[in-house]
């Protein structure tokens, strides 16, 4: 079933599919733009920024439509760079931070973590990083805004290690930082890339010189203190060992770190080249029939995102499929594994900007958008040859919980139907507490905007207005066993034992402190932040008495 197709193999080897994870304002948009600029995909800086300005405008209904329309359009940005086909998956952030943000990481082969030198590792980055770590996605780090006053570069490395538990391995080192930022030392060669005003804001060769040859006397007029500090640190790093073990990187144990400034372009090209060398091409993915090699002849892919487009110009649904194996061709017939139905893939698109372009051919690592795909659900597999199912998509702990009520009793049927559909699509999660006096379903989402979207769609597609009652929970933790096992645990009063929409037991907590309390009181139980994510250490839930 894994016979290799040489053309597919060639295409697989040149594919690089990744996502950027960061906290708002760290510079994701700027870095994306600069990568597109260097990739020759856009001519002028500003093209991406324009979109972002629109995107961050909130939030009356018109704006919501615009916002969702834009999210659809920016699902994947594709460009060619030095023979490589790069697919950059957009991870929604800011106001539209949602489960889509996490699920996108399921479709990526690698992640780039952008950190602001001054602010260090921030909350949203940490959350996204944890998802990468659980899936063992290799993570490269770009420490941005080195041109601005910030922490000492050595300090940022220590923070990455202590907060994220991954070993940072610097690939370059700043020569000065903040207003003194003059260049970057490539640690592999100890060549210094010197920057000047002439290299600001555009592509272009930088002047390079050996670190050993650089002097504070020459025309570069480096301050002696900057040079000596950089030399000392480079020596220190060399002693500490800066060689990159590729296997450990691919296993998600170490992260190569690049410093730079996306705004001024300084370090972007060095980063892009390092990234292309390190980011792996698509690898085999697990299915119920074992590992599926990307270069095999038969096609296979899975749905990682379903987007109902609220843009009135394209009022339709798009299922985004990550191709994992074989060749996609327009009009091909595939098997929808869950329903065992055959489908002809007529309306497959590449979506870029506001434009949709019909796709004739695509390969592993590429994303195709299937318009109005009918009965797709998140995680569904489509394939040719012997039917397979890729591993189901995990479910992540929501952060917002609420009860949604239908405003008009007469429309309750439509309300239930709409909600069922939205649950199936994965637009929102649901928990039930069978013991509560009124066992109304609790809806839950990673991002607040998911509620806006659900309510908007119930109104526009099912003609049902709703009222919302927020609940004080802040997180869910899944446990093994059944609900009765969960009820026997020692839990804070303010928590609630529930079942999710698939019947798996979970506990809703109001604070991190509460989860820590529960963990302390029940040391033999694993309170999982995500359901269905395969993790390394085995689960140890038994009767709650065995400590790990
Ligand atoms: P995000 O997508 O991660 O939210 O961040 P974004 O790229 O929008 O960057 C946030 C702000 O940080 C922007 O400034 C941007 O210009 C600035 N920035 C990004 N990279 C660098 C860098 O390397 N150095 C410096 N000094 N600034 C950087 P803004 O004022 O919010 O927006 P704008 O007015 O520049 O559009």
Task: Tell me the per-residue pLDDT of 503-522, one tens digit each, with 9 for 90 and over.
Answer: 899 999 999 999 999 999 99
78 found inside a domain: no
Q: Identify which of 252, 29, 249, 27 has the alpha carbon closest to the alpha carbon of residue 131.
A: 252
Tell me whether residue 3 is in a domain.
no
98 neighbors 447 (Cβ within 8 angstroms) = yes
Q: Is the CB of 261 under 6 A from ligand 1?
A: yes
Query: Is 236 within a domain?
Result: yes
Same domain, 361 and 493: no
Q: What is the pLDDT of residues 401-426, one digit of tens each?
A: 999 999 998 889 999 989 988 888 78
| Confidence bin at 82 (pLDDT 50/70/90) | confident
Calculate how far, in angstroms, residue 278's C-alpha sits from the geometric centre of ligand 1: 26
Structural domain tally of the chain? 3
pLDDT tens digits, one per residue of 315-339: 677 888 999 999 999 889 999 999 9
Same structural domain, 354 and 421: no
The pLDDT tens digits of the residues spanning 137-185 come to 999 999 999 999 989 999 999 999 999 999 999 999 998 888 888 889 8
Residue 399 Cβ inside 6 Å of ligand 1? The answer reads no
Mean pLDDT of the chain: 83
Give the span between the Cα atoms of 236 and 233, in whole angstroms: 5
- Shared domain for 51 and 139, answered yes or no, is yes
Same domain, 37 and 177: yes
Beta bridge pairs of residue 158: none
263, 270, 271, best to mutate for ligand 1 pocket (most atoms within 8 Å of CB): 263
Test site for ligand 1: of 30, 74, 101, 147, most ligand atoms within 8 A of the Cβ: 30
263 and 126 in a single domain? The answer is yes
| Residue minimizing CA distance to atom 19 of ligand 1 | 27
Give the domain-ending residue among 220, 254, 278: 278
Q: Which of 25, 149, 184, 270 to mutate to test the pocket of ligand 1 (most atoms within 8 A of CB)?
A: 25
Query: Atom 28, ligand 1: which residue's CA is nearest?
Result: 263
pLDDT of residue 547: 31
pTM of the full structure: 0.86
Closest approach atom of ligand 1 to CA 262: 23
Neighbours of 539 (CB within 10 A): 13
> Among residues 260, 278, 296, which one ends one of the domains?
278
Whether residues 44 and 153 fall in one domain: yes
pLDDT band at residue 312 under the 50/70/90 scheme: low
Q: Is the domain of 420 the same as that of 528?
A: yes
- 273 shares a domain with 164: yes
In a domain, 103, yes or no: no
Q: Is 492 in the pocket of ligand 1 (CB under 6 A)?
A: no
The answer to whether residue 101 is domain-embedded is: no
Tell me if 29 CB under 6 Å of ligand 1: yes
Cβ(263) – ligand 1 distance below 6 Å: yes
* Average pLDDT rounded to a whole number, residues 337-356: 75
Q: Could you tell me if residue 378 is inside a domain?
A: yes
pLDDT at 286: 92
> Do 69 and 197 lie in a common domain?
yes
Q: Same structural domain for residues 186 and 40?
A: yes
Q: pLDDT over 70 for what percent of the chain? A: 80
Which residue would you say has higher pLDDT here, 205 or 40? Answer: 40
Ligand 1 contact via 49 beta carbon (within 6 Å): yes
Which tokens go with 229? Answer: 């500090």
Q: Is 148 in the pocket of ligand 1 (CB under 6 A)?
A: yes
Q: Which of 383, 410, 426 is the last residue of a domain?
A: 383
Residue 413 lies in a domain: yes
Helix/strand/coil for 66: helix
Q: Is residue 374 part of a domain?
A: yes
With a 6 Å cutoff on the Cβ, whether 337 touches ligand 1 is: no
Range of lowest pLDDT (86-95, 190-199, 307-316, 323-332): 307-316
What is the Cα Rg of the chain in Å?
Answer: 25
Higher pLDDT residue, 194 or 548?
194
List pLDDT tens digits, range 202-235: 555 566 676 666 666 555 556 777 888 888 888 8
pLDDT of residue 144: 97
Please, what is the Cα angle at 489 between 487 and 495, to 5 degrees?
A: 70
Say yes or no: 291 and 420 in one domain: no
| Structural domain containing residue 325 | 285-383
Q: Write the CATH number for 195.
A: 3.40.50.300
Q: Residue 26 C-alpha to ligand 1 middle, in angstroms?
A: 7
Lowest mean pLDDT among 14-28, 88-102, 489-503: 88-102
Can you say whether residue 463 is alpha, beta or left, with left for phi > 0 and alpha for psi between -120 and 50 degrees? Answer: left
Contact criterion met (CB below 8 Å) for 365 and 18: no
Q: Are residues 236 and 293 in the same domain?
A: no
Neighbours of 128 (CB within 10 A): 25
**263 Cα to the center of ligand 1, angstroms:** 7
CATH number of the domain residue 502 falls in: 3.30.70.3280
- Residue that the structure tokens 């979970």 belong to: 506
- Burial state string for 83-92 with b = 16 or more CB within 10 A and e = fewer than 16: ebbbbbbbbb
Instruction: Give residue 234 CA to ligand 1 midpoint distance, Å.
Output: 28
């Amino acid at each position: 079933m894994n016979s290799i197709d040489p053309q597919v193999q060639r295409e697989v080897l040149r594919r690089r599919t990744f996502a950027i994870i960061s906290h708002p304002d760290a510079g994701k948009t700027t870095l994306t733009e600069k990568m597109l600029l260097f990739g020759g995909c856009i001519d002028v800086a500003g093209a991406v920024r324009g979109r972002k300005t629109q995107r961050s405008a909130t939030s009356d209904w018109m704006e919501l439509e615009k916002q969702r329309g834009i999210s659809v359009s920016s699902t994947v940005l594709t460009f060619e760079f030095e023979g490589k086909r790069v697919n950059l998956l957009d991870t929604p952030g800011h106001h539209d931070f949602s489960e889509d943000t996490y699920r996108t990481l399921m479709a990526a082969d690698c992640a780039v973590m952008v950190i602001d030198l001054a602010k260090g590792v921030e909350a949203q980055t940490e959350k996204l990083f944890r998802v990468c770590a659980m899936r063992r996605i290799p993570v490269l780090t770009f420490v941005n805004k080195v041109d601005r006053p910030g922490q000492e570069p050595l300090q940022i490395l220590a923070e990455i290690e202590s907060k994220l538990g991954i070993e940072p391995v610097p690939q370059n080192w700043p020569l000065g930082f903040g207003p003194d930022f003059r260049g970057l030392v490539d640690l592999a060669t100890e060549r210094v890339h010197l920057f000047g005003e002439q290299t600001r804001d555009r592509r272009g060769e930088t002047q390079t010189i050996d670190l050993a040859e650089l002097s504070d006397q020459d025309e570069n007029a480096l301050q002696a203190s900057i040079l000596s500090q950089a030399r000392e640190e480079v020596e220190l790093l060399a002693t500490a060992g800066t060689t990159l073990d590729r296997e450990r990187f691919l296993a998600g144990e170490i992260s190569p770190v690049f410093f730079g400034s996306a705004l001024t372009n300084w370090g972007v090209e060095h980063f892009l080249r390092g990234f292309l060398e390190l980011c792996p091409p698509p690898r085999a993915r697990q299915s119920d029939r074992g590992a599926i090699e990307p270069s095999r002849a038969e096609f296979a892919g899975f749905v990682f995102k379903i987007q109902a487009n609220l843009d009135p110009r394209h009022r339709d649904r798009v299922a985004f499929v990550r191709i994992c194996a074989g060749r996609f061709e327009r009009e091909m017939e595939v098997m929808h594994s869950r329903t065992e139905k055959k489908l002809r893939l007529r309306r497959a698109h590449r979506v870029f900007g506001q434009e949709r372009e019909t796709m004739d051919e695509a390969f592993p690592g590429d994303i195709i958008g299937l318009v109005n795909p009918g009965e797709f659900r998140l995680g569904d597999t489509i394939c040719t040859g012997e039917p397979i199912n890729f591993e189901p998509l995990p479910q992540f702990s929501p952060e917002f919980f609420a009860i949604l009520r239908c405003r008009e009793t007469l429309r309750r049927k439509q309300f239930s139907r709409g909600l069922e559909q939205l649950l199936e699509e994965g637009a929102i999660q649901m928990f039930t507490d069978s013991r509560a006096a009124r066992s109304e379903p609790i809806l839950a989402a990673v991002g607040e905007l998911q509620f806006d979207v659900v309510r908007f769609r119930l109104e526009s597609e099912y003609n049902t207005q709703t009222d919302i009652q927020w609940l004080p929970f802040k997180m869910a933790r899944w446990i093994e066993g059944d609900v009765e096992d969960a009820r026997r645990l020692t839990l804070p009063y303010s928590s609630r034992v529930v079942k999710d929409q698939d019947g798996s037991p979970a506990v809703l907590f109001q604070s991190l402190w509460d989860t820590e309390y529960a963990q302390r009181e029940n040391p033999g139980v694993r309170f999982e932040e995500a359901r269905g994510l395969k993790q390394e250490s085995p689960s140890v839930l038994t009767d709650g008495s065995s400590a790990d």
